[in-house]
Structure 1
């Protein structure tokens, strides 16, 4: 987290964008803590609140779109060959796909709030053949809500500190 703080302090919004994009794809970035820190920086006027939300939203969406297309292009073959190493057998994969077809769009929105799970929903969306427009709509909704909540929490924590 110290590296993330240093990057944000030096490079501002572009580092927020990049850290979130890479975090959503799967790099171990503590996204919720990062967003709360961004909100705190907005509260002490190091960053602008609206600009921080926009940079965060765009970074999250970039990571989600990349993950979606990775799932769409290489997801099934990759899991068919290597899924057994992580306990994802073809039978389990079929169950997950069936469940995702039933609840998929809302899983994307609410999955944002479950660390680790948000990364998987992107890949599963692509693997399951969810339409791109539908995916973008629900992913965008989830990303916007998630960014607003955590940045606002950090912002109000900063306000209390003053």
Structure 2
């Protein structure tokens, strides 16, 4: 998949970065921890500028986070939780995940929106309790954008630093990316099987 990501970035440039980061918010096995370092590396190879990589990644990621916020705000907790019980396994999202991020939000409020944007596994779904609680859109956008830009810039910076300090980074970065993607995919499959089994058992009882 890392080769596919590399081709997307080479073919579509910054637009490809934004699209992949948007997709990351919907399908976690495509993680930002892989996309943005590749984007930073691609910037050192002249495919686009480093600011363009950070801007595009931030736009795509913010759009995904805002989509979850808007959905939770419009649909409400009861209906969304019911949908998660049925189909959330495909997104590696469970009722327990919703409860966990909601506890974070209840404890830390708007600060959690910023902090959780820097924590893998929580960064996407922290938007959900913010939407449930009808957090004002202005503060949500500001805190989400700040956390998103910081996260994407940091990951892109790692890729750019490696690209400037190593003559041939594509090989090592490819192995690292492949390992991360395989681990994420295996984790996704395990959660999918586990949640599907739990749902089947609940239906039987």
Q: TM-score, normalised by structure 1?
A: 0.85
Map 1:82-161 onto structure 2 (within 5 A): 86-88=94-96, 93=99, 97=102, 99-161=104-166
- Mapped to 2, the partners of 1:54 and 1:47 lie a distance apart of 11
| Structure 1 residue ranges without an equivalent (≥5) | none
Equivalent residue, structure 1, for 2:47: 46
Distance 2:25 2:85 in 1: 24
Deviation at 1:96, TM superposition (A): 5.8
Q: What is the root-mean-square deviation of aligned Cα atoms in Å?
A: 2.2
**1:20 counterpart residue number:** 21
Q: Is the 8 A contact 1:125 1:135 kept in 2?
A: yes
Residues 25, 64 of structure 1: 8 Å contact kept: no
The structure 1 segments of at least 4 consecutive aligned residues displaced by more than 6 Å after TM superposition are none
Shift of 1:83: 5.8
Q: 1:107-159 CA deviation, whole Å, 9 max, x = no partner?
A: 22221232221111011211122110010010011011111111111100111
Q: TM-score under structure 2 normalisation?
A: 0.68
Instruction: Compare 2-11 and 19-28 and name the one that shifted more.
Output: 19-28
Instruction: Give yes or no for contact 2:62–2:144 (8 Å, CA) kept in 1.
Output: yes
Contact 2:25/2:61 (CA < 8 Å) preserved in 1?
yes
Distance 1:99 1:20, change over 3 A: closer
Structure 2: state its 5+ residue gaps: 87-93, 168-205
Higher RCO (CA 8 Å, separation ≥ 6 residues): 1
